[in-house]
Amino acid sequence: MSQKASYVQVVLPLAVEGTYTYRVPESLVDQVTEGSRVLVSFGKKRIYAGVVRSSSSAPPEGITPKAVSQVLDDAPIANQQQLQLWDWMASYYVCTTGEVMRAALPSGLRPESESRIRFNHAFEDLAGLDSTERLLIEVVKDQGELTLRELEMTGISRNPVGILKKLVETGAVEVNEFVRHTVSRKVNRYIRVKEEHDSEASINRIFDQVGRSQRQTELLDRFLLLSAGAEPYRQGSMVLRRDLTGIKGGASSLRTLIKKGFLEEVEREELGSGMQFQQEQVREPHLLNSDQQAALDQIRSHFRDHQAVLLHGVTSSGKTEIYSHLIREVLDRGEQVLYLLPEIALTAQIIERMRSIFGSRVGVYHSRYSDSERVHVYRNLLGWTDEEPYQLMIGVRSAIFLPFRSLGLIVIDEEHETTYKQHDPAPRYHARDSAQILALYHGARVLLGTATPSFETLYNARSGKYGYTTLLTRFGNVRDPELLLANTREALKKKQMISHFTPQLMEGIRTTLRNGEQVILFQNRRGYSNYLVCEDCGHVPRCSRCDVSLTYHMQSGKLECHYCGEKQLLPGSCPSCHETNLKMKGFGTEKIEQEIALLFEGIRVGRLDTDTARTVRGYERVIRDFEEGRTDLLIGTQMLSKGLDFDNVGLVGILDADSMMNFPDFRSFERSFQLISQVSGRSGRREKRGKVIVQTGDPDHPVIRYIMSNDYEGLYREQMEERELFGYPPFRRLIRVSFRHRIPSILDAATELAGRELKAIFSSRVFGPQYPPVRKVQNYHIKQIILKIERDASYERARTLLRETLEDVISNEVYRAVRISVDVDPY
């Protein structure tokens, strides 16, 4: 902003269209600029932290804007490229800029007010209140003040809000808005020698002066050891305070040395110790073999003509080493790199690799970090902490929102993974596609890496939109794993199945364990059994809030809904006919874990799914135990497929390939091949050739045939023909509009109206309204409409017409409570 702002347009973290204009008080004019974070009031009482999008000196017509209350930072919190990305995502994904902002900023940078309830001491008519109202007032008086959430938790009434409203009207209580700043800086406390004593000669004199105090001498010795190790003392060296006070008498000795003026304490805002990665601890990237070097040279060449390049490299071909070389080149130019991963689960191994090369220049950002940690990383990239700003950021999809200053490269590893897509809440963005827009704004390059490219990405590479590089040999010329088919239908007929295992898989496990190698078993369903059924009347326990059966989890001993989390006790008899003939059907990772322990006594079994890896630490423990040989056999869901690198896996068993291939989704063949191929790639990743056994009841299924011949190209060609014929991506764009309401009749009427209006505009491009496979979630009934838009049509015009139509539907008072969500590129 070149001129001083008298009025600013502010983005609020709400699902409201556009920006809101506020007046800038004269005292704040010099502090406000584009991207600044400001505190403003909205509505009657609410207060939010918004971000300034633009400014003007002329007042708006017809309104009297409220004033900006406070400027929260000394510098902008969002740069020009971020603001551009927010605008693009709001437009492309049919949501509001406020919803994008809410996803982009850590919650600690989005303070907003909450209502606080206080007793009005001037109120005297307590006799006119009933017993419940008097009890509520006594609680408020006793606590001094309560938030609405705390009031609800008291359990005084089923309708505390209604009682509160009456008490406010009578003047018994007051409700005020309070802005709570919940996140504090991540500060580490260090000890260093005071400047006037910071030389080797002066330190020797300090030793002489404290020589009669053994504990002070020991503390000084420890300080020198930790600050320099075996090297000579370096001026300005600092040691974490907690590392000194941990020794006997350390705290009191430290206080004495500080009081004498020899040492001093300083605070630094930093996430970790800030000292753990000294330059001499890092290494150069490993030398590339001839195939890797050729691929790297091709990528460099493609980057001269293309913004994005696809690296199609088979599993265990050494793609990560190529990434390392490219990252080093970009960092040496003084630019930043974003390394995107599809899962938090993958970050542990990649962080260790990258930090061994790039040391403290590596930062990490994902949702398992606490809010204060995420705020710290964000502030670090803005240059607001005492650490050097990170140059290489490793993160999952939300990392695209970080404030990069000079982004030179984005690496999108395992680009085919579905977890790059955000489904709920808005913005429902795809990180792979959004990252390419971010790179465009920075003038950066994008490298997409995978062994099984998504068909859209492969299509873009083949059509020349992306550069295309292949790496078709495994590192060290390790042979591809041997693929074997095990027919479960035939084994069942011959009564050869042992629980859920074919004779081939049982013998494979025995042989592999006997050879001192490890086994991975893949079952893409967690829990113990898929559902419970009464064999007398056929009743299946279902979630009371969702249209799904409940899954039994042995660990909790309960039936659980995987959509809303509802839990029910395992019934002793059928709730419908009261008979006790209840049987468990299907199997998940918990059941496989139990059965393996019974079938192979004495082996060490691990399990990797969202039940055992709810935290990063839990995930890392499971992976580390397997890496270090403390686990013989690992059972897991698709978390196993995402780029993990194990040295000693001799066998991978796919227990139920059929469940993936028969899912009602036009991408199911593609994703089945990808998932089985990626899991198979965990086998034989060093000198020995691995083995993969695929259990299926349909060995003639097309996907199985393509998998067994490792013919991804054949599957791609077949699927492209079908998609072009039936109008699916990449030949058409899809938009899914979901409608939700608690009353089915209102939902039906609203979707019929929307369908008619959309068909009047888009004609045969509209499909539906129709029910999805799961018709109800959390007591909301669901219907959907699908739009298929040609690639050469004006997509911007289509989105505008869609917005206008949906606004017209909800303008009808009857349908105002219908929840509508738009998902662009939904699958």
Residues 503 and 623 in one domain: yes
Check whether residue 577 and residue 594 sit in a common domain: no
- Going through 341-388 in order, the beta strands assigned E by DSSP cover 362-365
Answer yes or no: is pLDDT of 276 > 60.
Answer: no
Per residue in 424-468, pLDDT tens?
A: 899 999 999 999 999 999 999 999 999 999 999 999 999 999 999
Q: Is 276 within the bounds of a domain? A: no
Is residue 239 situated within a structural domain?
yes
Amino acid, single-letter form, for residue 715: L
Report d(CA 770, CA 765) in Å as an integer: 15
Which of 247-256, 402-411, 534-543, 798-807 is least confident? 247-256
What's the structural domain count of the chain?
7
Lowest mean pLDDT among 152-161, 378-387, 492-501: 152-161
Task: Summarize pLDDT for 653-671 with one digit per residue, the tens.
Answer: 999 888 878 777 889 899 9
Domain annotation covers residue 349: yes
CA 275 → CA 237, 281, 386, distances in Å? Answer: 10, 11, 12
Residues of the chain above pLDDT 70, percent:
93
**pLDDT at residue number 572:** 87
Q: Does residue 441 share a domain with residue 298? A: yes
Predicted pLDDT at 477: 67
Q: Do 343 and 432 share a domain, yes or no?
A: yes
The answer on 750 and 701 residing in a single domain is no
- Please check the confidence at residue 349 and state whether its pLDDT lies above 80: no
Residue 480 has pLDDT above 80, yes or no: no
Q: Over 90: is that where the pLDDT of 344 sits?
A: no
Tens-digit pLDDT profile for residues 762-794: 999 999 999 998 999 999 999 999 999 998 889
Least confident of 8-22, 232-246, 290-304: 232-246
Note whether 520 and 668 are same-domain residues.
yes
% helix, strand, coil for the chain, step of 5: 40, 25, 40
Q: Both 581 and 591 in a single domain?
A: no
Contact call for residues 381 and 390 (beta carbons, < 8 A): yes
Nearest to 183, CA basis, from 251, 111, 85: 111
Residue 105, in any domain of the structure: yes
In a domain, 415, yes or no: yes
Q: Are residues 126 and 202 in the same domain?
A: no
Tell me the pLDDT band of 275, cut-offs 50, 70 and 90: very low
Alpha carbon distance 232, 223 (integer Å) = 13
Give the residue-averaged pLDDT of 475-498.
86
Last residue of a domain, one of 147, 163, 179: 179
Contact 566/560 with Cβ under 8 angstroms?
yes
* CATH number of the domain encompassing residue 157: 1.10.10.10
Place of tokens 């289509």: 798
Task: Assign 202 to helix, strand or coil.
Answer: helix
DSSP H/E element including 410:
strand 407-413
Q: Do residues 542 and 454 share a domain?
A: no
List the single range of 132-141, 299-308, 319-328, 735-744 with lowest mean pLDDT: 132-141
Residue 215: the pLDDT is 86
> Quick one: pLDDT at residue 330?
97
Residue range(s) defining the domain that contains residue 807:
732-824
- Residue 61's pLDDT is 82
Q: Are 262 and 213 in contact (CB under 8 A)?
A: no
CATH number assigned to the domain comprising residue 811: 3.30.70.600
Amino acid at 274: G
Please give the structure tokens belonging to residue 277: 């990665």
Bridge pairing between strands 732-741 and 819-824: antiparallel
**Confidence class for position 755, pLDDT limits 50, 70, 90:** very high
Among 88, 109, 130, which residue terminates a domain? 109
Token digits for 75? Answer: 């510098």
pTM of the model: 0.84
Residue 778 maps to a domain: yes
Domain annotation covers residue 146: yes
SS3 537: coil
Residue 274: predicted pLDDT:
42
CATH number at residue 396: 3.40.50.300
pLDDT value at residue 75: 93
Contacts of 386 (CB under 8 A, 6+ apart): 268, 269, 270, 274
Using one digit for the tens of pLDDT, what is the confidence trace for 58-115? 888 878 899 998 898 889 999 999 999 999 999 999 999 999 999 999 988 888 776 7
In terms of domains, do 653 and 517 share one?
yes
Instruction: Please say whether the beta carbons of 50 and 97 come within 8 A.
Output: no
Q: Which of 84-93, 226-235, 515-524, 815-824 has the lowest mean pLDDT?
A: 226-235
**Domain boundary, last residue among 567, 586, 605:** 586
Least trusted range by pLDDT, from 216-225, 285-294, 666-675:
216-225
Does 194 share its domain with 175?
Answer: no
Residue 678, in any domain of the structure:
yes
- 494-499 — which CB contacts under 8 Å span 24+ positions? 498/599, 499/595, 499/599
Paired sense of beta strands 766-770 and 780-790, if any: antiparallel
Selection from 322, 198, 318 nearest residue 262 by Cα: 198
Q: Give the pLDDT score at 739.
A: 97
* pLDDT value, residue 314: 86
Whether residue 280 has pLDDT greater than 60: no
Same domain, 384 and 489: no
Which token pair is 669? Answer: 């063949």
Q: Which of 50-54, 223-227, 504-508 has the least mean pLDDT?
A: 223-227
How much is the pLDDT for 732? Answer: 94
